[in-house]
């Protein structure tokens, strides 16, 4: 139940990839023989498949090593190229680190940045967004689907504002492909980042959409043989690209049906967990992909809960799991208390999740949460009717 971290490669994808490692090993850049032509044809077919999922022109798709590189190329590439127009960037506090750290790097170079807070439901308020725009704003970067809480931002509305003001708009869609319909003919988005491994494709491959009309130009981050129209040099990994193309083709063909099934599983999981007391959902439930459920189980610490359910892969907003003791910055940005942020678990449901697994997880969670609450002094105090906010904690 950690499909938001990564997904397994769909067996159909893997079987398409293998021939390109063995007999069809040509370099797509080799123009002089059939091995190269064969590889080039496969790469171009995949480019069409990726473009088709988001209704873009294949010429607008640039291959990268993944969404992190796509975000770097889009944000640094556009900021550097257009810095003569202004040096102010707007993004949100709940973006992925691949966006936040890239914007921080630009700040070190002399750009200025605004990090907008979301509303308590995780969504961006359009009024606050418009108020943050400045005459020197050159770039806006907002993600489509949040990786921790699954909320869907109103990319269409943000895009209208940006286009109207002549500001470039980048969208990190790593968590969105195959989950929400994306139509780049309609959306006023200038750049969009994609990843294969969140959509049942292989790791190590991604793409950046770069709009041609109106044309968006980028300063390359990777210099070399001038591949990908000079925007991203480096020999194309044919097998990876073929895998991403096939994964996106399947996503397009099966998205509607798959989402319906996943929504059913999500509702089953949610209803099962909500039978417990003091269970809080993080993030809006309407503007949200059904694949994600982020829940705080009050009075139970997230890491101990993850240890208790160690044969189920989930992830915790309590970052004791990493070296830091800080709870999730995303949940903090929503205004969740540290207590609830420490008590959160992210469930993400995917293509291969079964009803039996969902039912197993519900029972396991109920059992373990019951046990951990019996161990919890906070639960005891809550049951005794003590307001925990009124307690003067030694550490405060």
Tokens of 359: 């039912």
| Neighbour-count burial of 17, counting CB atoms closer than 10 A to its CB (0-12 exposed, 13-18 middle, 19+ buried) | buried
| Residue 320 is among the residues annotated as catalytic for this protein | yes
The two three-digit tokens of residue 364, written as one number: 């396991």
3-state secondary structure of 315: strand
Q: Which of 320, 364, 378, 381 is catalytic?
A: 320
CA pair distance 28, 156, nearest whole angstrom:
36
> In this complex, which beta carbon is closest to another protein, that of residue 34 or of residue 393?
393
Q: Around Cβ 77, how many Cβ atoms within 10 Å?
A: 23
What are the counts of helices (DSSP H) followed by strands (DSSP E) for the chain? 12, 11
User: Is the peptide bond between 295 and the residue preceding it cis, with omega within 30 degrees of 0?
Assistant: no
Between 5 and 320, CB nearer to another protein: 320
Residue 34 or 323 having the CB closest to another protein: 323
Binding site for another protein (CB under 8 A): 299-301, 303-304, 307, 318, 320-321, 323, 325-327, 337-339, 342, 374-380, 388, 393-396
Which segments of the chain does DSSP mark as H helices, in order?
A: 11-17, 34-53, 67-81, 97-108, 126-132, 155-165, 238-273, 302-308, 329-333, 338-342, 355-375, 377-383
User: What positions carry a catalytic annotation?
Assistant: 320
């Amino acid at each position: 139940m950690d499909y938001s971290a990564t997904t397994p490669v769909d067996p159909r994808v893997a079987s398409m990839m293998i021939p390109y490692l063995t007999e069809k090993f040509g370099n797509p850049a080799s123009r002089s023989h059939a091995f190269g032509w064969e590889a080039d044809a496969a790469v171009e077919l995949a480019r069409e498949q990726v473009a088709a999922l988001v209704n873009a022109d294949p010429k607008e798709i640039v291959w990268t090593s993944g969404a992190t590189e796509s975000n770097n190329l889009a944000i640094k590439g556009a900021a550097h190229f257009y810095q003569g127009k202004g040096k102010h960037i707007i993004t949100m506090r709940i973006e992925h680190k691949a966006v936040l750290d890239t914007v921080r790097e630009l700040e070190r170079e002399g750009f200025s940045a605004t990090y907008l807070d979301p509303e308590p439901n995780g969504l961006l308020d359009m009024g606050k967004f418009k108020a943050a725009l400045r005459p020197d704003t050159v770039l806006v970067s907002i993600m489509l689907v949040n990786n921790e809480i699954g909320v869907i931002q109103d990319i269409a509305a943000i895009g209208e504002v940006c286009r109207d003001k002549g500001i470039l708009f980048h969208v990190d869609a790593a968590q969105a492909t195959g989950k929400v319909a994306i139509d780049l003919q309609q959306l006023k988005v200038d750049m969009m980042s994609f990843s294969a491994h969140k959509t049942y494709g292989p790791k190590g491959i991604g793409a950046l959409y770069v709009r041609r009309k109106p044309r968006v130009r980028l300063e390359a981050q990777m210099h070399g043989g001038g591949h990908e129209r000079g925007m991203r040099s480096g020999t194309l990994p044919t097998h990876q690209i073929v895998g991403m193309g096939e994964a996106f083709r399947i996503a397009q063909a099966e998205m509607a049906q798959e989402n319906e099934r996943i929504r059913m599983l999500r509702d089953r999981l949610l209803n099962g967990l909500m039978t417990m007391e003091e269970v809080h959902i993080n993030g809006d439930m309407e503007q949200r992909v059904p694949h994600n459920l982020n829940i705080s189980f009050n009075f139970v610490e997230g890491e101990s809960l993850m240890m208790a359910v160690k044969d189920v892969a989930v992830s915790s907003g309590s970052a004791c799991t990493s070296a830091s003791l800080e709870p999730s910055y995303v949940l903090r940005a929503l205004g969740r208390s540290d207590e609830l942020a420490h008590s959160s678990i992210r469930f993400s449901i995917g293509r291969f999740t079964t009803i039996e697994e969902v039912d197993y997880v519900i029972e396991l969670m109920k059992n373990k949460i019951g046990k951990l609450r019996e161990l919890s002094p906070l639960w005891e105090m809550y049951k005794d009717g003590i307001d925990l906010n009124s307690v003067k904690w030694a550490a405060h």
